[in-house]
Amino acid sequence: MRFLSPDFNFWIWLQHLDTPDNNLNIPFEFTEANMRQVKEILSHYPSNYKQSAVIALLDLAQQQHGGWLPVAAMNKIAQILGVPNIRVYEVATFYSMFNRQKVGKYHFLVCGTTPCMLRGARDIEQALLEHLKVKRNEVTKDALFSVGEMECMGCCVNAPMIAVADYTKGAEGFTYNYYEDLTPKRVVEIVEMLRRGETPPVGPQDSSRIRSGPSGGNTTLLSDPKPPPFRDLASC
Ligand code: FES
């Protein structure tokens, strides 16, 4: 499969490997304000079911930590919830919106499922990697951008598409925007608009698309269908 890469970044994405910025010697604590939010979140659950808050706490930790979850943050959440660390790891590794290694302030997620692949997802990813001069799951030197992969995000009719997770404003202003009907040229334009601090228009990027109609217009069902054949009742 083209999307499977043998490089280090791919393997670290699958499992935890200690790195200088992600190891147990670097502790994680929620800020005072976020600790108040932790208490508020936990108040919604009976004390014997507080582990149900794991996703909400992971999300809070990720946003506090610039869009990614170090192993120390997952352990902290396990401690708060009173569960073994593995119960937090199993949730964080299951959901691809949780990043377990550093990402850029703008994290590009290229859809890698069949309809987007058939409509040019490889070219979109290649254009991003070449323009940003990074490998997949690697962060640009200015810490602004990274490129990852996501499976189907439900916009197959507007394939190929990407989501951009924007962590520039922290927990208060987190956004997760879809850009659809992309071309390699357009995705590079989107990168440069974000770099300039602009907000590219979200959704379909091809103005000739009418809602979810096919690009280039309809090629079938252009005339009235023939009526179905029927029996000559008079000859019966
Ligand atoms: S296949 Fe890409 S959004 Fe569904």
Ligand 1 within 6 A of 113 CB? yes
Q: Could you state, in order of their start, the residue ranges of all structural domains in the chain?
A: 20-94, 106-204
pLDDT at 171: 62
CATH superfamily of 106-204: Glutaredoxin (3.40.30.10)
Ligand 1 within 6 A of 163 CB? no
**Residue-by-residue pLDDT tens, the chain, 236 positions:** 344 444 545 555 556 788 888 988 899 999 999 999 999 999 999 999 999 999 999 999 998 998 999 999 999 999 999 999 999 999 999 998 899 999 999 999 999 999 999 999 999 999 999 999 999 999 999 999 999 999 999 999 899 999 999 988 766 677 889 999 999 999 999 999 999 999 999 999 988 776 677 777 778 888 887 777 777 767 76
How far is the centre of ligand 1, averaged over its atoms, from the C-alpha of 149 (Å)?
A: 11
pLDDT at 208: 77
Tokens for 23, please give them.
Answer: 């190891």
Tokens for 117, please give them.
Answer: 């692949």
How far is the centre of ligand 1, averaged over its atoms, from the C-alpha of 82 (Å)?
A: 38
pLDDT at 6: 47
- Cα atoms in the 13 Å half-sphere on the side-chain side of 205: 21
Q: Which CATH architecture has domain 20-94?
A: Orthogonal Bundle (1.10)
Residue with tokens 């698309």: 209
Ligand 1 within 6 A of 121 CB? no
How far is the centre of ligand 1, averaged over its atoms, from the C-alpha of 151 (Å)?
A: 7
Q: Where do the DSSP E strands lie in the chain?
A: 106-111, 145-150, 162-166, 175-180, 203-204
How far is the centre of ligand 1, averaged over its atoms, from the C-alpha of 7 (Å)?
A: 25
pLDDT at 5: 46
pLDDT at 213: 72
**Alpha carbon separation from 223 to 215, 216, 218, 228 (Å, rounded):** 19, 17, 11, 15
Distance CA 203, CA 181 (A): 8
The alpha carbons of the chain give a radius of gyration, in whole angstroms, of 23
Distance CA 171, CA 108 (A): 18
Distance CA 231, CA 133 (A): 68
Q: What amino acid occupies position 193?
A: M
pLDDT at 3: 41
Ligand 1 atom nearest 112 alpha carbon: 2
Strands 203-204 and 175-180 turn out to be parallel
pLDDT at 11: 53
Contact 147, 110 (CB under 8 A): yes
Contact 181, 214 (CB under 8 A): no
What contacts 89, CB < 8 A, 6 or more positions away? 16, 74
